[in-house]
Structure 1
Amino acid sequence: MTIRQPLETVSLVDAAVNRLRNDLLTGGYAAGQELSDTQVAEEFGIARPTARMVVQQLINEGMLVRPPGYSARVRCFEPAEVSDLYRVRRLVELDAVRAIKASTLPLVGVEATLANFESLSPNANWHEVAEADVAFHCSVVEAAGSPRLSEFFASLTGELRLMIAILRKHYSSANALYVEHLELYTLLRDAPLRDVEAKWTRHLEDARKFLEASLAT
């Protein structure tokens, strides 16, 4: 008999964080909506101290904010914040692209995330789509071989996931977003640097403009 790998144990806090994160990414809570520790405790059937840990984790990820003296709220974005985040994305991701093209760094991790992206069903939950999108871009930064750059980019992923949730209206399906990332990968693997930089910049700029327009209305 084949011995299977042990099942991964997920703590109550992790399980609640995953559920609440999914709810945030699928529009279960409106931008700016209050989300108190007591409310989370009641909705998830957990103790209030546990709920506070859950809320704090999502504050750390940038999905919630807790103004001094107030309960946590779902993160809202202003157009200027989108512009700033995408400015940072361009700096980090284009630096990673240049490092990859200037060397023979392997793209195994990028290929793995792309395969996962492709495996999503046409009716995939947009939370899964957001995860696949972020995983692809993280894998590109990781392929550049700089642990500090990867760690910094990872600190942005909570905000990125929320923004990708807004981008849902911009794409007809999960497959449409996958095809766009497949093109990015193919260029990264085969095309001259200038072509990769141009396409990558357009990809980020299109998303930024759509997000800013969506938030301005």
Structure 2
Amino acid sequence: MAEQLTGLAGDRVLLGRTSTAERVSDILRSRISEGYFPPGTRLSEDSIGGALGVSRNTLREAFRLLTHERLLIHELNRGVFVRVLTVEDVEDIYRTRSLVECAVVRGLGEPPYPLQGLAAAVAEGERAAVDSDWKALGTANIHFHRELVALAGSERTDELMRSVFAELRLAFHVVDDPRRLHEPYLTRNRELLHTLQAGDRRGAERLLDTYLADSLERVVEVYRRRVGEDGTGAS
């Protein structure tokens, strides 16, 4: 046992390193989602490590975590870049969203449901629309869907969809007319909220299924026009 504990004590440094790397990855994930590092941006180890005050090893571990989440891509002899999604990526994101979000709504128990988070996200979107802040409206829309997923009460599902929604923001960043993309969904978010408030989960699932199909069609249309099928900018 003493020998085993000695070996375990030697792993103590990994706890600190992993914890720090996870915190760094959380920061970078948020920055990527907010558009601070747009798709295609090369991430400088020296600049980011210096700004955050972390070692190169810690930063590389954070990059590795985000690469695993498909937010970053490592190109040999070139460095680490924020991913530019392909049409296939976008379609897969929406396939996952449909599977998970519709299942969450379908699996709800008897009403009433804890909808305060959804209501707050709708109010957030309404404020953004009044201010004509269409990027903020897109953020509010993602908050709405995070709160919808949270109705499952599952940390695993929340964690899975956190990465999916972060990838979704990569797609949103190439949209040339964010108002046209996001504004119609504010009305649809209100409709979903009101349907759930009425306790009609089957009706809400039908609305959500159509909602996601329409959103996919709109985002793919933009992608094919602006990015190309393979994410290279080809027309």
TM-score relative to the length of structure 2? 0.67
Q: 1:15 to 1:215 in 2, by over 3 A?
A: closer
Count of matched residue pairs: 200
Aligned to 1:141, the other structure's residue is in SS state helix
Give the alignment partner of residue 118 of structure 2, picking from 97, 100, 110.
110
- Structure 2 vs 1, CA of residues 150 and 46 (structure 1 numbering), >3 Å: closer, same or farther? closer
One-letter code aligned to 2:40: G
Q: Which residue of 2 aligns with 1:35?
A: 43
Percent identity, aligned pairs only? 24
What is the CA deviation profile of residues 50-69 of structure 1, one whole-angstrom value per residue up to 9, with x for unaligned ones? 76577556546543222455
Separation (CA, whole Å) in 2 of partners of 1:55 and 1:76: 16
Corresponding residue number in structure 1 for 2:32: 21
Report the 3-state secondary structure (helix = DSSP H, G, I; strand = E; otherwise coil) of the residue aligned with 2:85.
coil
Task: Name the aligned partner's letter for residue 122 of structure 1.
Answer: D
Local SS of the residue matching 1:73: strand
List aligned pairs for 1:43-82, cutoff 5 A: 49=56, 59=67, 62-67=70-75, 70-82=78-90
User: Which residue type is aligned with residue 218 of structure 2?
Assistant: F
1:131 aligns with 2:152: no
Question: CA RMSD, aligned part only?
Answer: 3.5
1:1-217 aligned within 5 A: 17=28, 20-21=31-32, 25=35, 29=38, 31-38=39-46, 40=48, 49=56, 59=67, 62-67=70-75, 70-100=78-108, 102-104=109-111, 105-120=113-128, 121-124=130-133, 126=135, 128-167=136-175, 169=177, 171-172=179-180, 176-190=184-198, 192-217=200-225
Q: Could you tell me how far apart the structure 2 residues matched to 1:39 and 1:92 are?
A: 37
Structure 1 residue 134, shift from structure 2 partner: 1.6
Contact 2:110 2:199 in 1 (8 A): no
Cα distance in structure 2, aligned partners of 1:92 and 1:193: 15
TM-score by length of 1: 0.71
| 1:37-61, Cα deviation, whole Å (9 max, x unpaired) | 245468x696773765775565465
Which of 1 and 2 has greater Rg?
Answer: 2
